[in-house]
Amino acid sequence: MSIEIHVPDIGNFSNVEVIEILVNVGDTVAIDDSLITLESDKAAMEIPAPRGGVVKAINIAIGDKVSEGTLILLLEDAGEASVNVASAPAQPKVSGGAAASVPVTVVTPTGLEEICVPDIGNFHDVDVIEVLVREGDVVDAETSLITLESDKAAMEIPSPKAGVVKQLKIAVGDKVSEGSLILVLEVAGASPEAAPVNAVAPVASASLTPAASAPAVDAESFRRAHASPSVRRIARELGIDLVKVAGTGAHGRITEADVRNFGKGGHAAVAQAPAAAKAAPAAAPANSMGIPLITQPDWTQFGAVETIPMSRIGKLSAKHLHRAWLNVPQVTHFDEADITELEAYRNSLKDKAKSMGFNFTPLVFMLKAVVAGLKEYPKFNSALADDGESLIQRKFYNVGIAVDTPDGLVVPVIKDVDRKGLFELARELGEVSKKARDGKLKAADMQGGCFTISSLGGIGGTNFTPIVNAPEVGILGLTRAQDRLKRVNGEIVDRLIQPLAVSYDHRVIDGAYAARFVSHIAFVLSDVRNLIL
């Protein structure tokens, strides 16, 4: 009896291109053997067989567009029962994109618990860049299990309980969201029973762990490579870095033959390029914005060099700041504030704050002054809507503080600054700065900012131009306050002057509005009593 095999639920994808057919007529397939590979603009996914049998006819071809329900092939039943219940179609194996929407039921024996990705804020389809445990590892509650990296933050996911890792369900390069299964944990103190033989396990991730004997391959390379999950698996088994392999498939896709030829040292994909193409000068590589990149010469011809990998935070910051610089037409306005009286008031309270367990820094007053400015000039507390034709006006006052850490710059957000007193803010600043330096910030700690302060006061400098932390529209840069002689009421007196530098998004804010905003901040800082106005 022939059985029709259709494309299962593949989430929100439709009209997805068939880029590989992995079986031939006459092939015998088993449950979960991959039949075809699909590729959308967001993900590559293999469609597995929901049952075993012999392929009698193939009803699609490479280049076809398919959606849920499209007929793939006819299968002659080999007497093997389906792994899925009738109402739950086979789950595609996804690489580099969102997971399919229909979950696979997992039967968990007593004593075993599924550990899933918790609430990570507004982040979705986040890259897994590190798996920090192995099967058999004993973990405590709060032990970090995996590290995730979005375009804005890197975050570690801790274990909610202590126990032994029985099964890993995730691999480097996978994309996860809240609820994604990380691993199965045998909870400490439990007495697990034998797992049922017919327990249904999740479909394996398309990112496979390389064999122990294979050389280590950079996971980041696999994320960038244009290859299907099956080709990635072969490359991992052979220990081949896909970035170094030229693809001969459609749209430059790397095929299995490309990988195997590269593994033999043939570099066939490159060797097969037409002679005319080899002779033509290579175009300068371009980034995602289409702007030609600046490439590096071979520095070794001039002397000794060393390649030092950037930290995760450094790589994240570089990408985010590059996007902000390319998208935001920013201008910086400079001004000064006389903080002589404010500094005297702060010094009078430093010892009291110290006795309470925290430092009383000038940044506390800057937070309050910024909020006063945001209230008086609300465009600085807005965001440009995606259509570019309206403003989203925030009614809350959350201020990000750029913190220098051993791994790079991070920006935790102090929430509801307008509702907190000076000492409360000082205590919170100390706590969040320590968390940042210790690498303990969570995703929620860095979300929801309306405006950012970047202070170099403890380091030095006379002024600088901070880059707007998009999608915010303004940022205040602070350098070290300077002692200056000024004429006040006809007398030359020594005053403490604080430089102010506010960069702003010129699509939202014009120069006059920005000048008034900065002037208002200077006014508030000039007399501590102005903070209560």
Neighbour-count burial of 505, counting CB atoms closer than 10 A to its CB (0-12 exposed, 13-18 middle, 19+ buried): buried
Residue 142 amino acid letter = E
Annotation marks residue 506 as catalytic: yes
**Cβ–Cβ under 8 Å, residues 156 and 139:** no
Q: Write the CA distances from 128 to 110, 149, 156, 157, 176, integer angstroms.
A: 29, 7, 10, 10, 7
Instruction: Write the CA distances from 328 to 252, 281, 370, 449, integer angstroms.
Output: 33, 33, 21, 17
Question: Tokens 């032994």 correspond to what residue?
Answer: 164
Of the candidates 124, 333, 506, 520, the residue annotated as catalytic is: 506
The C-alpha atoms of residue 433 and residue 460 are separated, in whole angstroms, by 19
Backbone angles phi, psi at 516, to 5 degrees: -70, -35
Q: Which of 98, 115, 112, 105 is nearest to 169 (CA)?
A: 115
> Smallest Cα–Cα separation from 174: which of 26, 44, 271?
44
Q: Return the bridge partners of 4, or none.
A: 74
Residue 47 structure tokens: 């469609």
User: What are the structure tokens assigned to 340, written together?
Assistant: 């002589």
d(CA 47, CA 54): 16
- Chain centroid, CA 446 distance in Å: 12
Residue 299: other Cβ atoms inside 10 A: 10
CA distance 205 to 171: 7
Instruction: Write the DSSP string, 323-335.
Output: HHHHH--EEEEEE
3-state secondary structure of 320: helix
Name 88's Cβ contacts closer than 8 Å, sequence gap at least 6: 102, 104, 105
DSSP 420-449: S-HHHHHHHHHHHHHHHHTT---GGGG---
Which phi-psi region, left, alpha or beta, contains residue 292 (left: φ > 0; alpha: ψ -120 to 50)? beta
Rounded Cα–Cα distance for residues 429 and 455 (Å): 13
State the amino acid at position 44 in one-letter form: A
**392, two tokens:** 């989203």
Kindly state the DSSP code that residue 238 receives in the 8-state scheme: H
Q: Please say whether the beta carbons of 369 and 339 come within 8 A.
A: no
Q: Give the burial class of 68: count Cβ atoms within 10 A of its Cβ; 0-12 exposed, 13-18 middle, 19 or more buried.
A: middle
Respond yes or no on whether the N-terminal peptide bond of residue 274 is cis (omega within 30° of 0): no
Question: Which are the catalytic amino acids?
Answer: 506
